[in-house]
Chains A and B, each alone.
Chain A
Amino acid sequence: MANTAPSNSAEIAIRARAIARDFEAGQEVIRVLHGIDADIRSGEMTYVVGESGSGKTTLISIMCGILWPTEGEVEVFGTDIYKLSDTELVNFRLQNIGFIFQQYNLIPSIDAAANAAVPLIAQGVAVEPARAKATEMLDALNIADQAAKLPRQLSGGQQQRVAIARALVHQPRLVVCDEPTAALDASSGRRVMDLLREVAVASDRACIIVTHDNRIFDLADRILVLEDGRVTHDGTDMPEDH
C-alpha cells in the first residue's frame, strides 16, 4: 500500500498516470508495470528504489521519454511526451533532460571536455564554445584540470563527474540518473551524490535517481518504492521494513 505523498507546492515536473508496460518473452506477455501513478516535483531529488526486476528502470525510461508505455500518460513539464512525434520527442529530450548512466557511457576517443559538451554539440553549438561551456561545468565539479584527458585516463569517480557535467551542461529541467553510485566505492559514491545534490537540484529542476544503494537513501527528498511493478511507498523517508 503506497503512503500518501507529502503535500508540496513545488511545480510538478513529471505527472505519470496509469502507467503500464508489457514486454514480450516469446509467446508470453509479461506486465512489468501495473498502472503506476506518480508525480515528480521540481526542486527535489526523488529516488526510485526497489529490488532488481521491480520495474524501476522501466519506470524512469518511460518517465524520460525513451520507452513507450503500453498504457497510460506521461506529462513532463506539462507536455504529454508520448503525443509528440518521434523527432519532437528526441528534441524534447535534448532540450529538457540530462542523463547520467550507470556505466557513464562516455565516448572513449574524445576528451572529458568534449564528452561533457556532447548535448550542446547535439543542439548545434559549435565545438569550441561548447567545450568552453563544458569546461566551466567541469570546473564547478572540481575536475577542470582533467578536461583534456580521455575517459580511460580518469578514475571511476572522475568519469562519473564528467557524466554529471554532460547531464547538466545544457541546463536541463530534468536530470535522470541510473544507479549513479553503483560503480563507485562508498566514499566516492557519497561524494558524487553530495555533488549531484549540490549542482543538480534547483528550484526549477527535478532530479530523479534510480538506485538500490541504501548508503545514499538519506540524501533523498522523496522516495518511491517499487515492488513487482507497483508503487508501494511514496514518501520522504524509506519505510522501516526496507
Chain B
Amino acid sequence: MLWIAIRMLTGDAQKFYGLLFGIAFSTLLITQQGTIFVNLVERGASGVYNAPVAEIWVMDPTSRTTDVNYAMPSTALDKVRSVPGVEWAVPHLRSAASVRTRGGDLEQVAIIGVDDATLIGLPRNLYEGSKDVLSTPDTVIIDDGGAINMFGEGVDVIGERLELNDQRAVIRGVADTIPSFTSTAVLYTKYSQALNYVPGTRNRLTFVIVGAADGQDHKELTERIEAQTGLKAETRDEFARAGIDFIIENTGIPINFGITVALGFVVGVAIVGLTFSLFIRDNIKQFGALKAIGVTNAKIVRMVAVQAGMVGSIGYGLGVLGTVLFLKAFSGNPFFKGFYVPWQIPLISLVAVILILALTGFFALRSVLNTEPASVFR
C-alpha cells in the first residue's frame, strides 16, 4: 500500500511540487535565517576568538565585552601576575579611533594593542606580512575584512599610510580574522604603540590576558583573581558568551530573526497545510474506496505518513541544500566570512518540518479517518 501511497502523491505533480516547495521554502527560510542569526551574534565574541592564546580575560568590573569596556590602572597587570595559578599575564588594549585614509575618507576603526614582547593577542594567522613587522615603528596590521571595507576588494594594502588620531600609521600586514559584529576595521599594533594612537587618558589598560599554569582549573583561577584583585575575570568561553549575550540583549536582532523564522514556519504550515488538505480532499473518494475494500485505518495512517515523510525528507533536503549553496555563493563576501551551518540549526529546521507535517498531516488524516467507507456508495 505504501507503493500506492507514493504513486498517489507523485502522480499529482502540481500538488507534489507544491508540497515540496512549501517544505523546501520553510526549511530554507528557517535554516538560512537561523544560520545567519547564529553567525551574526557569534561575532559579538569575535574579539575573544581572534585572540586564541588567551585563556582568561581580566577587566574592570564594569566591562562587559571586548568592545564595551572600561580601562583599568596599569597596576592591574602586576596585581594579576601576583595571583597563584597565573602562568603569565600580558596587557591588552582595545579602543576606538578615527582614521583618515590616503583618499581623505574618515573611518572609525578599532585599535588593539598586543603585548610588545610576546605579541599575545594577535590573531593566529596573517594573510600578508608576518608578526615580526610589528617591530617596525608606526606599524599596524589590518584585519582582512577591514582592508576590503576601507580600500576595496583586491587592493594591495601593504604600505598604505593612515592618519590615525593625527599619528602616522603604516599597514604592513593583513590578519585572517573573524569579522566584528559591526564590521569595523581593526588595526593591531604593539601595546606601546597603541598608547600613542589612543587619546591620553589616565587609565588605558583595558584587559589583562592570562594564561593559567598547567593543571590549573580556569574557573577556579578566575574566582581567585577576582577575590585577590577586585577585578572581573572570565574564562575564554564565559567572555565569548558575554559578547554574544550582549548582542542578543541589546539589539533587535533576535526579534527580527525570530520573526523571520516564525514566518518561515507559518508559511510552511500554510502552503503545506493547504496543499496537503487539497490533495487529501481530491483523493477522499479513493481513500473511502480503499477503506471499503478492506484497507485498515492503520494502513491509511501509514500511507499518509509515508506521503508526508517523502515530501518532508525531499523538501527538507532541498531547503538545507539551498542554505549551503547560499553560503557557498556568498562566501567571497566579507560579511559572510567564516559563516558555517551549526548542526543545531538543521536540527531545529527538521523539528519544524516534522511539526509542520505532523500538524497538517493530522488535519488531513482526520478527514480521511472520519470518512465512512459507506460514503463511497453515496
Contact = CB atoms under 8 A, between A and B. Distances in A.
Interface of A: 57, 60-61, 66-67, 87, 90-95, 97, 99, 101-103, 105-110, 114, 118-119, 121-122, 127, 150, 166, 178, 210
Contact of A105 (B3, B4, B285, B372): B285
B361 interface: no
B374 A101 contact: no
B293 to A, nearest CB: 6
23 contacts: A57-B378, A66-B292, A66-B372, A90-B296, A91-B296, A92-B294, A95-B294, A97-B294, A99-B289, A99-B293, A99-B376, A101-B292, A101-B377, A102-B377, A105-B286, A107-B4, A107-B8, A114-B4, A118-B290, A121-B1, A121-B4, A127-B3, A210-B377
Contact of B377 (A57, A94, A109, A150): A57
Given A66-B373, A105-B285, A108-B11, A94 B3 contact: no
B8 A119 contact: no
Interface residues of B, number: 28
Interface in B275-324: 283, 285-286, 288-296, 299
Contacts of B296: 87, 90-91
Contacts of A94: 293-295
Contacts of A108: 11-12, 286
B219 interface: no
Given A99-B376, A107-B4, 13 more contacts: A66-B292, A90-B294, A92-B294, A95-B294, A97-B294, A101-B292, A105-B286, A109-B10, A109-B12, A121-B3, A122-B1, A122-B295, A122-B299
A94 B289 CA distance: 12
A119 B288 contact: no
A61 B372 CA distance: 11
B200 to A, nearest CB: 80
B373 A118 contact: no
A105 B289 contact: yes
B124 interface: no
Contact of A118 (B4, B288, B372): B4
B168 interface: no
Contact of A61 (B4, B8, B286, B377): B377
B294 A119 contact: yes
B342 to A, nearest CB: 40
Interface in B158-216: none
B79 interface: no
Contacts, number: 87
A107 B4 CA distance: 9
A122 B296 CA distance: 9
A57 to B, nearest CB: 5
Interface in B92-119: none
Contacts of B374: 61, 66-67
A239 to B, nearest CB: 25
Most buried by A among B290, B372, B377: B377
Interface string B3-25: 11001111110000000000000
A109 B1 contact: no
B299 A101 contact: no
A107 B286 contact: yes
Nearest to B378: A57
Contacts of B295: 90, 94, 122
A99 B286 CA distance: 13
A52 to B, nearest CB: 11
Contacts of A102: 377
Contact of B294 (A57, A93, A178): A93
A186 B296 CA distance: 37
B297 to A, nearest CB: 8
Contacts of A106: 286
A102 B292 CA distance: 14
Contacts of B373: 66-67
Nearest to A101: B376
A188 to B, nearest CB: 21
Given A107-B8, A114-B7, A91 B294 contact: yes
